[in-house]
Structure 1
Amino acid sequence: MARYTGPVCRLCRAEQKKLMLKGDRCKSDKCPVNKKRPAPGKDPKARAGKRSDYGVQLREKQKLKRIYGMQEKQFSLFFERALRMPGITGENLFILLERRLDNVVYRLRFATSRSQARQIVLHGHVVVNGKRVNIPSYLVRPEDVIEIKEPSKNMVIIKEALKEFGKSGVMPWLQLDPDGMKGTFLASPRRSDITDLADIKEQMIVELYSK
């Protein structure tokens, strides 16, 4: 599947929001959002006027899609699945996105960004319930155990990423044994639990796809 290969900081500038696409760099003074750099383009001021309803809805969709590192077709498939689930579509979408294996690896502090987590999964460093899984979009279920494969536990990037656990812990729907590099997906999160994405207005995304 084709992926965006350009400078990811450009995506954050386009949304004027930290999308946490480069791990530690996003938390440093080097982040262009911290420097208040304008949106990319020849004349960003000309596009800074009032947006249409469609424009606002599109930006919300683009932000969420980019945060989770997904392409349009895959994101649309996730939305269609959320639409078929009982309950509120926007909340269902968040639940499905949080259940992605690459996202769970990132949330368990095995990686500093979702893109790094995706590479760790693709290269076969992750096992789920004792079986190797190398599909980033694999949907984790409650009580699944996610672990770094034994030979991979000496990887420097994973050890460095795990240092964040001592500072921030993990989300309440996860449990982590940092020494064993093993975590458990306790339950699907509620929308209110996903506090770092509280500013995303998922209802606008639902309205966009409903047109």
Structure 2
Amino acid sequence: MARYTGPVCKLCRREGVKLFLKGDKCIQKCTLDRRSTRPGQHGASRARKESVYGKLWREKQRVRRTYGVLERQFSKHFEEAARRPGKTSENLLQILEMRLDNLVYRLGFADSRAQARQLVNHGHFEVNGRKTDIPSFIAKPNDVITVREHSKSMEYFKARALLLDQKSIPSWLSLDKDALSGRVLSLPSRAELELPFDEQLVIEYYQR
């Protein structure tokens, strides 16, 4: 499966905003705090005036890179959001938030979405009792995400269990720290999400 494997700090510099692609490490130490210019040899040159299209495209890139989704899959998520009843922008965020890799990250089982994606790919999680190793799997309310029994004996998950008390879990999720299990209580609303972008501009980009 194709994925971005380059330096993620370069993505934050290009977008000019912290995307927290390394999780808590971005709070403690961030390249953007030291070098706020765009990457590349011309990054420090005077910025050109951005067009309306450029602004919309840039916002779409911020959303896509925040969730670690490649272009083709992101377009599919938008098409699904547009088909659903309700506000397309909120539908899109809900689809992205209900991806299995994002839920593993939100529940505190990983420090970043990239790390969560790797854990899912390696088959360490099950959804409703069934092994699920597809990071793009879309969960639903009342679905239960659990660390698989054989994975709980790994040093990584033993150490992670001790750190869960320090993690802040969103109100639309619940966590059983002893069982290393989480449940989706409901779809998240926009007010419950603190995100560094304006998703409405993404909708305008696709509807232009």
TM over 0.5: yes
- Give the unaligned 5+ runs of structure 2: none
Unaligned runs of 5+ residues in structure 1 are none
Alignment of 1:25-174 (within 5 A): 25-29=25-29, 31-46=30-45, 48-162=47-161, 165-174=164-173
Instruction: Work out which of the residue numbers 199, 202, 207 in structure 2 matches 1:202.
Output: 199
Looking at structure 1, the residues matched to 161 and 14 of structure 2 have their Cα atoms a distance apart, in angstroms, of 30
C-alpha displacement of 1:162: 4.9
After the TM superposition, which segments of 4 or more aligned residues of structure 1 sit over 4 Å from their partners?
Answer: 159-164
Q: Which residue of the partner structure matches residue 5 of structure 1? A: 5
Q: How much has 1:204 moved relative to structure 2? A: 0.7
SS at match of 1:175: strand
2:31 partner SS: coil
Tell me if 1:17 matches 2:17: yes
> How much identity, in percent, do the aligned residues show?
49
1:17-54 deviation digits (Å, cap 9, x = unpaired): 2212123421222x102224421022224352331111
CA distance in 1, matches of 2:169, 2:42: 41
The answer on whether the counterparts of 2:121 and 2:133 sit within 8 Å (CA) in structure 1 is yes
Q: Is the 8 A contact 2:56 2:202 kept in 1?
A: yes
Give the superposition deviation at 1:159.
4.3
Partner SS, residue 76 of structure 1: helix
* Superposed CA offset, 1:88-139 (max 9, x none): 1111000000110000000000000001101111111001111100110111
Q: Give secondary structure in 1 for the equivalent of 2:33.
A: coil
1:161 deviates by 4.4
Q: Quote the Cα distance in structure 1 between the aligned partners of 2:147 and 2:76.
A: 28
SS of equivalent to 2:145: strand
- Note if contact 2:161-2:178 (Cα within 8 Å) is conserved in structure 1: no
User: Secondary structure of the residue that 1:147 maps to in structure 2?
Assistant: strand
Q: 1:26 to 1:138 in 2, by over 3 A?
A: same
Alignment partners' CA distance in 1, 2:76 and 2:22: 26
Quick one: which amino acid aligns to residue 112 of structure 2? S
Residue aligned with 1:46, SS: coil
Asked whether the equivalents of residues 60 and 202 of structure 2 are also in contact (C-alpha less than 8 Å), the reply is yes
2:123 aligns to what SS in structure 1?
A: coil
Q: Give 1:92's aligned amino acid.
A: N
Residues of 1 paired with 2:87 and 2:162: CA distance?
Answer: 36
Give the alignment's TM-score, normalised by structure 2: 0.94
- 8 Å CA contact 1:110–1:159 kept in 2: the answer is no
Over aligned residue pairs, what C-alpha RMSD do you find? 1.6
